[in-house]
Amino acid sequence: MTGKEEAFFKKRIEELCETCRNRGIPTHSLFLNAEEQAVLQTMHLPTGDVQQVLSGGFEGAERRIVCFLPPYLENIPDSVFSFLALSPSSPKFAETLSHRDFLGALMHLSIRREMIGDILVPEQTAYVIVLSKVSAYIRENLHMVRHTPVTAEEVSPEQLCPGVNTKEYDVNTASLRIDAMLGAVYRISRSRAKELVMTGRVFVNSSLQSGADRTLKEGDILSVRGKGRFRLLPGIRTTRNGRLFVRIELYS
């Protein structure tokens, strides 16, 4: 994000907050990526009685909106998000479709990326969180992903399957530093891990990292542009030679 882009982003967020405070109505942004969420965390907004909430439609979502709520509301209105299931019309003859395939098909409809949240692909069906204003358009116009005919239908939040889009396993690492954990999880060198940090591609709990020597802790979520993200789970163990076994949850 350039300086000009960041200034425009901050101004837009300030306007949303001010509209909620002055008019007493809920307002929200489009979906924010990790970098935008990191910028948001640096802002000191005069919210007053206004509540600021970040949500991507389900717990653990990576792409999230910021919503400003007046005092009479406790939760984001149900009308903000729509949850879609994109399923092959004939599963027996369907191709193996990836996150990239489903995202590409949605973008081919000329929908802005900021209107689309996380895309979960546990098996053949993709579950997509979108802003409600584009839900009907997607359901009416999305008929093909690559060479596979699909149907798009709205589902309830309870039908999302974020849990099956992760896997847990142990990694052996010398320390809990960012560069050490990146090396252990993605099997890259410490120098390559430091390069990822220094080029602005690494976030911890949506906060952009400028140094690779930060020590992580249980519960931290580390995101890397182009690679994915993982969470440190409870139960870190120390071996006899002083190395660590760390249980992680890897998001695919």
Delimit the CATH 3.30.70.330 region(s) of the chain.
Answer: 81-160
- Residue 204 β-bridge partners: 207, 222
What letter would DSSP give residue 6? H
- What is the C-alpha to C-alpha distance for residues 196 and 202, in angstroms, rounded to an integer? 6
Superfamily of domain 164-251 in CATH is RNA-binding S4 domain (3.10.290.10)
Q: Which residue has the higher pLDDT, 35 or 14?
A: 14
Q: What does the pLDDT read at residue 102?
A: 95
Delimit the CATH 3.30.1370 region(s) of the chain.
Answer: 3-69
- What is the C-alpha to C-alpha distance for residues 190 and 4, in angstroms, rounded to an integer? 33
pTM, two decimals, is: 0.74
Q: What does the pLDDT read at residue 61?
A: 85
Report the CATH architecture of 3-69. 2-Layer Sandwich (3.30)
Q: What does the pLDDT read at residue 79?
A: 92
- What is the C-alpha to C-alpha distance for residues 192 and 169, in angstroms, rounded to an integer? 22
pLDDT, tens digit, 9 for 90 and up, residues 35-65: 898 889 889 887 788 999 999 998 778 899 9
Q: What does the pLDDT read at residue 161?
A: 58
Q: Which two tokens stand for residue 157?
A: 């939040």
Delimit the CATH 3.10.290.10 region(s) of the chain.
Answer: 164-251
CATH of domain 81-160: 3.30.70.330
